[in-house]
Amino acid sequence: MSESLPPIHIHDSMEGRKLPLSLVQPGKVGIYVCGMTVYDFCHLGHARVMVTFDTVVRYLRARGLEVTYVRNITDIDDKIIRRAAERGEGLDSLTQRFIDAMHEDEVALGCIAPTVEPRATQHVGQMLELIETLVRRGHAYAPGNGDVYYAVRSFPAYGRLSGRSLEELHSGARVEPGEDKRDPLDFALWKAAKPGEPAWDSPWGPGRPGWHIECSAMSQETLGCRFDIHGGGADLLFPHHENEIAQSQGAGCAFAQHWMHNGFVRIDEEKMSKSLGNFRLVRDLLPIYGGEVLRFFILNSHYRSPLNFSEKLLEQARSGLTRLYTALRELPDDDGSILPEDSWGPRFHSAMADDFHTPEALAVLFDLAREINRRRDAGEPFAALARRLRELGAVLGILQRRPEDFLRGDAAGIDVDWIEGRIAARAAARRERNFAEADRLRKELEECGILLEDGPGGTTWRQAGGRGGVA
């Protein structure tokens, strides 16, 4: 890590404040992120998790750190079993279909694949070993009906992450029908098999793992008993992450040094939830806005803040990204320019080192784009600055396409031949000094969301802030 760059600080959810990034092994980072339960397509909340931690990983690697990025897949769960039964589909077929769809969305959002992507069904053996350790250490018990439960009161530190006391939690806890818990606070580590459900052999009879034990086992298998960062959405802080801590530390593992949680997604200022019917699927938004605009939209909010979704805000994100790509258009291979005294790089790193503050980092990119445009308009060399803009954009996972492709909206399903035909007809009308017809053609294109820019090299075009379209 370069001494000239500021130290990285992370807001640690456990401590409730920013702390310097502390590494188990100097120069190496192990990060575990709770991934998707694959029974449906990814929604905006999943997209935020993907983009947030992809950006964290990109920045850590840009700082010269060797990062092992683990994001798990939950492919056995009550919701998956119910969905497969509803559709009369095998579990393997259902989960693989949604895993493939998740990977498609991930690529569209510009996310780098995790270093390791463990699946729960491939780690049942490790889960059983962990459960047996907890039973031996007095943190878990088997009531004799094939289930195994974690005894929450055996772990005095329970509730520290979420800031909840055992008394507060007990007042809202209850025992569901069919459960044989000693205490309403206890949670399932292993569930006895029900007819028709998938099952694995265990010392307590056929069954399947509880949800929480999965991540404790998979993080330990992939990163060891002590690793650097555990991340996920704020909705997982309690009880999932609280239970992970109890399981892992109860079994003798030190577990995560830092905890990071991204904020909720809101739809028109209302919390997104399937129960309210206001959730948005990534694949429904991609044909309209494209993955890079969605990524840029997510980066415009600090990862810990609520992310409010609206059509207006997405259009603003498209317009902002268009401004950055416009600064990169017609970039000469080499105009002899050299990077002047670079204030943008230090400012960018200052923002990102301060708990990955992407809105401030984007503000630096906009300042850099304004300087590029000023130099272009003044006839001054600007290629070195443009390369710097692309370089810093890469750390955020943006600005890596050909500017012409983005500005023409090649992902929006528009008819390029029709547009270029109208531009050619307008050029012919101008040559014939038929300016009324040329203006009519320009207006026709503008009504379809296509903006023209006349320059010495001819006429170029791009999409306006809206989606646009053609006949």
Tell whether 34 is in a known binding site. yes
Q: Is residue 303 part of a domain?
A: no
The enclosing domain of 337 has a CATH number of 1.20.120.640
45/129 same-domain check: yes
Supply the mean pLDDT for the chain.
90
394/426 same-domain check: no
Q: Is residue 1 part of a domain?
A: no
> Would the pLDDT of 338 be above 80?
no
107/48 same-domain check: yes
| Long-range pairs, 57-63, Cβ under 8 A, ≥24 | 57/31, 57/112, 58/112, 58/394, 58/395, 58/396, 58/397, 59/352, 59/356, 59/395, 60/8, 60/29, 60/31, 62/395, 63/1, 63/2, 63/5, 63/8
DSSP per-residue string spanning 311-341: HHHHHHHHHHHHHHHHHHTT--S--S----S
381/248 same-domain check: no
Tell whether 111 is in a known binding site. no
391/422 same-domain check: no
- Ranges 171-175, 295-299, 350-354: which has the least confidence: 171-175
200 strand-pairing partners: 207
Where among 228, 262, 296 does a domain terminate? 262
Residue pair 396/361 in contact (Cβ under 8 Å)? The answer is: yes
Tell whether 341 is in a known binding site. no
Domain extent for 347: 311-402
> Would the pLDDT of 470 be above 50?
no
Q: Is residue 150 part of a domain?
A: yes
355/451 same-domain check: no
| Long-range pairs, 163-167, Cβ under 8 A, ≥24 | 163/16, 164/238, 164/242
Give dist(CA 43, CA 105) in Å, integer.
10
pLDDT in tens, 161-192: 999 988 878 766 666 666 789 999 999 999 99
pLDDT of 344 reads: 92
320/244 same-domain check: no
Res. 468 pLDDT band, cuts 50 70 90? very low
Q: What is the mean pLDDT of residues 5-24?
A: 97
Q: Is residue 222 part of a domain?
A: yes
pLDDT in tens, 214-265: 999 999 999 999 999 999 999 999 999 999 999 999 999 999 999 999 999 9
- Domain total in the chain: 3
Res. 449 pLDDT band, cuts 50 70 90? confident
pLDDT higher for 409 or 328?
A: 328
The enclosing domain of 180 has a CATH number of 3.40.50.620
Strands (E), 27-86: 28-33, 66-71
pLDDT in tens, 77-117: 999 999 999 999 999 999 999 999 999 999 999 999 999 99
Nearest by Cα to 347 from 326, 362, 327, 337:
362
98/185 same-domain check: yes
367/423 same-domain check: no
389/426 same-domain check: no
Res. 308 pLDDT band, cuts 50 70 90? very high
177/110 same-domain check: yes
Tell whether 240 is in a known binding site. yes
- Ranges 51-55, 196-200, 401-405, 429-433: which has the least confidence: 429-433
257/379 same-domain check: no
pLDDT of 410 reads: 54
Q: What is the mean pLDDT of residues 391-402?
A: 96
Q: State the DSSP code for 358.
A: H
Tell whether 42 is in a known binding site. no
Q: What is the mean pLDDT of residues 324-337?
A: 83
Q: What is the mean pLDDT of residues 197-206?
A: 96
Residue pair 467/450 in contact (Cβ under 8 Å)? The answer is: no
pLDDT of 417 reads: 66
pLDDT of 2 reads: 44
